[in-house]
Structures are given as C-alpha cells and as structure tokens.
Structure 1
Amino acid sequence: MSSSSQARPFDRYFLTAQTESIESYQEAIALTQELIVNNILQEDKPYFGLNPSLLQESFRDFCPKNFTQQDYPQIEPELAEIIRHGAMVTHPACVAHLHCPPLIPAIAAELIIGSLNQSMDSWDQSPSATILEQQLTRWLCDLFGYSNSADGTFTSGGTQSNLMGLLLARDNYAKTHLKWHIQRQGLPPEAQQFRIFCSDVAHFTIRQGAAILGLGENGVIPIETDENFQLKPEILSAKLRTLQQDNLRPIAIVATAGTTDFGSIDPLPELAKIARDHGLWFHVDAAYGGALKLSQNHGHKLKGIELADSITVDFHKLFYQPISCGAFLLKNQANFGLIKLHADYLNPESNEAQGIPDLVTKSIQTTRRFDALKLWLSLKTLGVETFGEMIDSTIELAGAIALIIAEDAELELANIPTINAVVFRYQPSQGTATEIDRINEQIPKKLMLEGKGIIAQTQVKGRNYLKFTLLNPLTTLKDLQKLLIEIKSLGQTLHTTDINHELKKNC
C-alpha cells in the first residue's frame, strides 16, 4: 500500500468523501445538536449566575499549555460548561442589547457557510456565493429605494459599514474639491480641516471611524438633539455657517435611523436637503432601524433614506441573523472606484475586462464570509411579510410596556419608543440623586447574577437609567411585567440597604 493511500491521524478531521471523514462529521454535528438542545433550549434562566472571577476560576483548566488529541465525546463536558455559562440570547428575559435570537434557517445556513468555507474576495474562491450576494445586494438596494446605479457589499456589521461610509465621504471630498487622490497620495494637508456632523447621540463608531481615517475624534461635530433625541436641522445649519467662517471644511453629514438607546430616527429629508445644498456626503446609519423597511406599519419612518449617498444596515439585529452580518449600500456604485485595487494573484484587471466579478474591489475586507446565505435562506423560508410581522410585534410590545412603566409610581419612563427600545429607571420617592443612580447601576448586575434577567444600563443627561431592548418577538408582556417586579424588588432592597448604612454612619 502506498503512503498516499494510508490513513493519517488528521484525515478524519476534514470533509472528504471517505467513510471515516463522513462518520466523524456526522458524529460532531449530532453531538453538537445534543449539546445545544440540552444546554440552551432546556435552560430556564437567561444566565447561569457566575460572576467574572468565579467564571474565570471555573474555566481555569480549560486551556492547558499543551493540547492533546481527544475524541469529541471526551470534550463534551467542557463544551457543555461553555454553553451553559453563556448569555442565553434566546431567553425572553434577555433584553439588554441590540442582540437578537437567531432564526433557525440562518443557523442552518451557518453550517453550510462553515462547511463550504468560501471566501468572498475573488470569484474563483466563491462562484455561487458571489452571484448570490450580488443578487441579494440588488434586492437590498431596491428595498431602500435606490436606482439601478446603486450597489453594495456585505460587511461584518455597523462598525465596518459606517467606516466605509466615512472613508468614501473623505476620499470623494478630496477628489472632488481638492483634486487629490487619497488612495495614492495619502491625506492632503487640508485633512485637518475636515469635519463630519452627526447627532450628539449618534453611535460611537462615527468618532471611532474618524479617528481611524486620520481625521481625529475632534473631526466629528456633535449636533444637539431635541426632546425625542433627534438631530436638530436648524442647529446643524447654524453650525455649518460658523464652520465656513472658521475656514473649516465640512465633508459629511451622518444621520441615525435608530439610535442605540432610544431608537430615534433623525429627520432624514431635512438633513438630505442640507447635505445637498452644501455639497456634502449624506450617510445614514440604519444599523438598527433599517429593518423597518420590511414593516407595513412603520416603514414610513424611514422616508428620505433613499436620498442618502450611503446606508448602513445590520442583519444581526432586527433581521434575526447570527453574528456577524451587515451590509453597506452605495447610491452611486462608481464611488467604489475610490477604494478599488487590483492584485495579480487575486483579482487581476483582466478579470474585470472579461466580466468576472471579484467582490474584493468593493470591500475593505479581503477574506470575507458568505454571510449573504444566512439572510437569503431566512427570507426564502419566512418570506418578507413574516419578517414585517415580527418587527411590528416587538414595536407594539415596547409601546405596551412603556405605558405600564409610565403609570408606575416607582418607575420613571425616559422615552416613548420609536422602535422597540424602552429607557426607564427605578425611582423611589425618597433618596438623593447619587443614591438613585447607584441603585440603578446595581440593578442590572444583580438581576443577571441572580439569573432573573439581562437588561441594559445607560445614561440620560448624566443620570443612570435601565433599558429594555425588545428584539425578541417571542418575549411577551407578561415576561416584561415579571421583570419589572424583580427590578422594583431589587431597587427596594438596595434602597433599604442604603438607608440602613446611612443610619449606622450617623449613630
């Protein structure tokens, strides 16, 4: 028998047509399914309850210095512990962040994506994946009201999409107004004068993106918002006049369609007009709110988004996709030319001349996953109408619990929900502002460690608040009412502890 035909120790760990490989694959998948069913679906708490130090101690022996070969069943107990001590995002009381329970079709797609392991940079690495992503991107452009001159690319999420929007805004301004090609020449001397505008509650990745692009966090000008946390166009217009007098160079306006805390949507038509009148790039961060385009009842809230030069949309939020999955949409596909590069070993220029699509020319990523398959399979399985119904149900739930909070003497509602984020806090009748802040800071931590719920905390005008982010369409009003009872009980306990501590101090 030749050495090439002899089985080697590692052969069974790769997908091949060999019987041993197939059996190994099926065993791993079957055991994984069993682990998930037993340790996620049977868990009645959103979190098991270990704090960071105890969890670190529990996992102390999980990463030995020298790993030795073990069969999958031998590793199963450790895998079970890893799963068991995770945040159970599918639990109806896990309502902290923009972190959705994933759809079953999307989870199934993840298995296909991982098994095929196609990379989206060049067509010869991802033939079917390239074509399918292009078709889905075209559908997304149509969904958001773009013409046939638009295009897009899938991304890892809002951070990357927002960075791409700012990158193209910067390079487009330099090319158009300074006759300067940043891709070839680097930043122009005038770059220190570039300024980007967004609301004072815009996502932090706008500042982060500006810093990465060499413009600095100070290159972002936050604009005051109104009582609904929407950017004020009149303040923006006044600021633009001031900047021009100061010899600074506005290059872009970033609107938010769904702020992280309040789900607020900036006035898109008004901001689009200001951008157009001043010759500025108009980017809309719709990572959170973009899914409203699937809603029959709330799609109108995104009126004006079709006027944007670029759009961020995330699918691992209200499209219910496993992390990570997002998209960047571009009104004029010619602007992708600002970042286009060719490499002889990857996407030679001759490919483009022959009509071979290498998607790396539209992305700041090279190796990239076939994430479009997750969204495609979900849409094919559920249909667009069902997606809209799921989104609408969460918005209705947010409105219902907000009314209950508003009528509760021990709670204070911070906002009427625009989408499905509800900000509020425990508000006892007595206690200093500092004491009440401390109580509201402690409630989410204790609630999680007791395994009763995972909720978020944030700040509104310098004060500590709590937040329900209601992405899960399976969460009910009863689930949230139960959480409110736990929140108030914890608040009362913490408040009593504060009072007793103060009494002891004064005795």
Structure 2
Amino acid sequence: MRSHLLNDLTAEHYRRSVTEGVERVAAQLTAMDRPFSGVSADALAPRIERIDLDRPLHDTSAALEELEEVYLRDAVYFHHPRYLAHLNCPVVIPAVLGEAVLSAVNSSLDTWDQSAGGTLIERRLIDWTAARIGLGPAADGVFTSGGTQSNLQALLLAREESKPGRAGWEASDAHARLRIFVSEAGHFSVRKSAKLLGLSPESVVPVPVDHDKRMQTVALAHELERCRAAGLVPMAVVATAGTTDFGSIDPLPEIAELCERFGTWLHVDAAYGCGLLVSPTRRHLLTGIERADSVTVDYHKSFFQPVSSSAVLVRDASTLRHATYHADYLNPRRMVTERIPNQVDKSLQTTRRFDALKLWMTLRVMGADGIGHLFDEVCDLARQGWGLLAADPRFDVVVAPALSTLVFRCIPAAVTDPAGIDRANLYARKALLASGDAVVAGTKVGGRHYLKFTLLNPETTTDDLTAVLDLIAGHAEQYLGESLDRAC
C-alpha cells in the first residue's frame, strides 16, 4: 500500500495518475453540450449505494472509470454558458494549476513550521487585498473557507470590541442587549453567526430596502436611535456590497457616517461584489468600503477561483487577537516575541489549506486587470439581459442589475392569479433542471416565486439568455396546458 503514498519513490506514479484524471476531466468538458445531465437524486443514488467501499478496485484507471459513471457524467458544470443559477463561477486555469500544486504539497497554513513560504504568500495577498480596499497601514486579515465563516469571524470581533468600557457588561443579560443591523436583502449567515455567537433571537435587526434593494439609511438611523434609547448596544452594522439575489450594493458612505456617529462596528459583506476591487470600470461602486472595520471577500465568486477561497480583512490588526488562543504543542506564546508568523493566531480554523496559492498564481499569470475585465464582462451582460427582459412582455423583471444578477418571472398571458403564476414559474424551473438544457435559480420577492439568472460566466452570451428565456416560457406554457387538460 505504500506505493500509493506521494513521495520521491512514487513521483512517476503520481504524474501518470494525475495526467489520466486531467485527461478525463478535459474530455468531459470538451464533450458536454449542456450544464447538467438532468439526472434525479432517486436515479443516481442506487449507483452510488451499490459500490462496496470495503472492496477497493486496486487500479487507478478502474476507479476513474467508476467515477465517471457516478460523478463526472452527471456533475453540474459551472463552466457551461447556460449554467445561470447560483454564485458559482467557471474557474481560471492558473488557479486550477495552483489547486493541483497545493493539494500535492499539502501545506497547512496554521503555523510557520508547516508552511514556510505559504504563510508569507498568504500574508502578501492579504496586504494586497487590504490595499485594494483602502483599509490603511494597520490592516490585516486571514483566508477563510467562505463568506459564512468570514462573516462569523467579523461579527465575533465586533462582539468582543463592543465590550470595553461598557457599564454592566458582566451582567447576565449583556449578550441579550447586543444588536446587529443588516438589510432585509442581506445574507442569511448574519443570523446564523448571531446564533453561533450566543446572541438572542432578537439581536439581528432587519433594515428595510429601497426600490433598488439597497439598505435605507434613514431607516437605519431610526433603528440605531431606537436601539440607543432602549439601552441596547449597537454591536455592528452589516452593509452588503452585492446581495445574493439582486447584486445590490448598500450606500456605503452614508452607512459609514452613521456607524461613526453611533460608535458601531461597520462590517461590509463584499463576498460577491469584491470583484469590483479589480474592475477597470466599476471600482467606484465600492466607494466607502475603505471606512469599514472589517470586510468579507470571496475570491471563489467574482475572482473566478475554485472553491474554497475567501478572506476576512480588518482595519485594525489588533482586533484579530479575539480569535487568538495558544497551545504549547502548536503556537506557544513565546513564538509571538520571537516574531514567528503563525497564521493560526488570526484564524478560527487550525488546519487550513493553502488556498491563497490559487489567487497568487492567477495574479502572477493574468494580473488583476485580467480578472477585472472578466467581471466587467458579466456585469455588462447583465445590463444587456435586463434590456431583453424589460422589452419582453412574457416577463416581469424586478430591478436593474448593479452587478450580474437578474431576478424575474414569467407572466403567462392566460394566467391572472398570483398563485397560478407562482406554480408556473416553479414548474418551469424544475422542468428546465430535469432537461439539463440550462440551470437557473429561484427566490422569493414579496412572498411570490421568482426566477434568477446569476451571470458569472464571460462565455455566456445574449443568445444564451434569449434561448433560456424561450425555454422557460415554453415550460410555463406547457404547465398551463397540462393544468387545463386536468381541469377538463
């Protein structure tokens, strides 16, 4: 069995095995004519369940052949131009190369003696990102598994920073008095983070949004005043730079002013909108983000990186101490005075992949402008898609895109009741997925069912959008026809 360990004696076996795997994936990418096979869970599950994991194949080629049957053939391919569903991006080749390198070397980014240069590369990329944001010379941060973890860590820091100098903090109800403010369109991870941090169910205060799905600053000011008058503590405001459904960007300068006035931590969730940091034409949409106390970025969304690749950045490096714990076997306190750079001192995780390498390779091969141009392309496409939807009487589109998402629904001419329109759109989405011809997302607006295009593939064209809209309308009409037949 030692022949399967990666070392100096098995380097040739490693080369052959990885090459064969790469060739199979490349063949699949070349051959696929739609983003999904349309397979159902009920159809796929028996194939996987009948595999006896206690009887190995003892052959790489055979294992890859089996993998093609149970995974590769039926995977959902974000690379296809008609995958239009979630915030999943096609990935750039330099990042995939970085993924292959980091998986083989298998550095762990918790301590210097497990990563060496990996630690310094991650720190350099954190500094680069903080400079792009404009957080200042005292900024710092760390890579994370994704936006949910980044938001959790940011709110942990905000909670701890809300303690100093506050009378009665040691009271039993101290946590119950903390409040987090986020727009109605903000990410669900804010509520999840509040629960994980031991805060009360009432701790997250939703702030109304305007017609463009941006936080209303007048409403935020009112809620902050109400919080203070009630003797509560405004722990944090979470502004969103790219909401999941609408791509909307909250008015960051105005929110920053309110946070300064009320002494409240400002966290900007830019998991989606972080691609604007490298955009040659749209960077101004993030004006005000430089005033944040913490920022979430997801490189595995608008930087076209493989999952996972995210980071949390802070204006003041000293606030990261709230995530620091020392273990004698890992990062004893003496290492701080010896200036040994252990990233575990900043992270909620211990063992952690060298995900920074993917972004490093991308920047060294493509450059920041190369990434930014790709993100600009999908934002431009969303504008064109908005024009298509606005001009098509079959559809109702909610709001003009700030980034690259479009929320809309089909309005069949023969249907007038809202519940019937809901059912037609739900059917159209399911039928489209079952066909495998395209994949779109769904959401609710005002309690009604809508569909969503999330555009993150620069290879997608307006012809693709037009074709998918025709498919959606066709499936909706099919549902109506079948409904009429059943009624008769």
Are residues 1:36 and 2:25 paired? yes
Structure-2 residue corresponding to 1:53: 42
Structure-2 residue corresponding to 1:101: 90
Are residues 1:68 and 2:29 paired? no
**1:294, CA displacement in angstroms?**
0.7
CA contact (8 A) 1:208 1:217 kept: no
Of the structure 1 ranges 26-35 and 140-149, higher mean CA displacement relative to structure 2 is found in 26-35
CA contact (8 A) 2:175 2:200 kept: no
**1:428, CA displacement in angstroms?**
1.2
Query: Structure 2 CA distance, aligned partners of 1:79 and 1:269?
Result: 50
SS in 2 for 1:174: coil
**1:178, CA displacement in angstroms?**
4.7
Of the structure 1 ranges 431-440 and 323-332, higher mean CA displacement relative to structure 2 is found in 431-440
**1:69, CA displacement in angstroms?**
4.9
Query: Structure 1 CA distance, aligned partners of 2:26 and 2:130?
Result: 38
CA contact (8 A) 1:40 1:84 kept: no
Identity %, equivalent residues? 38
Higher alpha-carbon Rg: 1
CA contact (8 A) 1:40 1:83 kept: no
**1:332, CA displacement in angstroms?**
0.3
SS in 2 for 1:290: helix
2:67 aligns with one of 79, 104, 113: 79
Deviations 1:61-89 (A, max 9, x none): 23x25233511112122111211111011
| Amino acid aligned to 1:476 | T
Deviations 1:436-489 (A, max 9, x none): 101111212111111110000111101111111000111111111111111111
Where does the alignment leave 5 or more consecutive residues of structure 1 unmatched?
A: 1-9
SS in 1 for 2:6: coil
Query: Structure 1 CA distance, aligned partners of 2:77 and 2:8?
Result: 36
**1:179, CA displacement in angstroms?**
8.6
Structure-2 residue corresponding to 1:173: 162
**1:415, CA displacement in angstroms?**
1.2
Deviations 1:343-386 (A, max 9, x none): 11111122111111001010100011101100010111111111
Query: Structure 2 CA distance, aligned partners of 1:257 and 1:171?
Result: 24
Are residues 1:459 and 2:444 paired? yes
SS in 1 for 2:49: coil
1:222-237 to 2 correspondence within 5 Å? 222-237=206-221
Of the structure 1 ranges 122-131 and 473-482, higher mean CA displacement relative to structure 2 is found in 473-482
Are residues 1:138 and 2:123 paired? no
1:110 aligns with one of 74, 99, 102: 99
Of the structure 1 ranges 272-281 and 441-450, higher mean CA displacement relative to structure 2 is found in 441-450
| Amino acid aligned to 2:457 | N
Are residues 1:469 and 2:454 paired? yes
Are residues 1:370 and 2:358 paired? no
CA contact (8 A) 2:135 2:292 kept: no
| Amino acid aligned to 2:443 | T
| Amino acid aligned to 1:267 | P
SS in 2 for 1:68: coil
| Amino acid aligned to 1:105 | P
| Amino acid aligned to 1:156 | S
| Amino acid aligned to 1:436 | I
1:198 aligns with one of 182, 194, 197: 182
SS in 1 for 2:142: strand
Structure-1 residue corresponding to 2:110: 121
CA contact (8 A) 2:428 2:473 kept: no
CA contact (8 A) 2:180 2:234 kept: yes
SS in 2 for 1:250: strand
Query: Structure 2 CA distance, aligned partners of 1:238 and 1:451?
Result: 48
SS in 1 for 2:439: coil
SS in 1 for 2:84: coil
**1:279, CA displacement in angstroms?**
0.6
Deviations 1:378-407 (A, max 9, x none): 111111111111111111110001101111
Are residues 1:497 and 2:485 paired? no
SS in 2 for 1:442: helix
1:272-283 to 2 correspondence within 5 Å? 272-283=256-267
Query: Structure 2 CA distance, aligned partners of 1:445 and 1:493?
Result: 12
**1:282, CA displacement in angstroms?**
0.5
1:80-479 to 2 correspondence within 5 Å? 80-81=68-69, 82-178=71-167, 189-431=173-415, 432-479=417-464
Tell me the TM-score normalised to structure 1 length.
0.94
| Amino acid aligned to 1:381 | V
1:5-16 to 2 correspondence within 5 Å? 10-16=1-7
Change (3 A) 1:320 1:176: farther
CA contact (8 A) 2:57 2:63 kept: no
Query: Structure 2 CA distance, aligned partners of 1:308 and 1:176?
Result: 22
SS in 2 for 1:247: coil
Change (3 A) 1:410 1:69: closer
Tell me the TM-score normalised to structure 2 length.
0.97
**1:216, CA displacement in angstroms?**
3.4
Query: Structure 2 CA distance, aligned partners of 1:339 and 1:321?
Result: 26
**1:188, CA displacement in angstroms?**
5.5
Query: Structure 1 CA distance, aligned partners of 2:104 and 2:455?
Result: 33
Query: Structure 1 CA distance, aligned partners of 2:116 and 2:55?
Result: 37
Query: Structure 2 CA distance, aligned partners of 1:458 and 1:264?
Result: 15
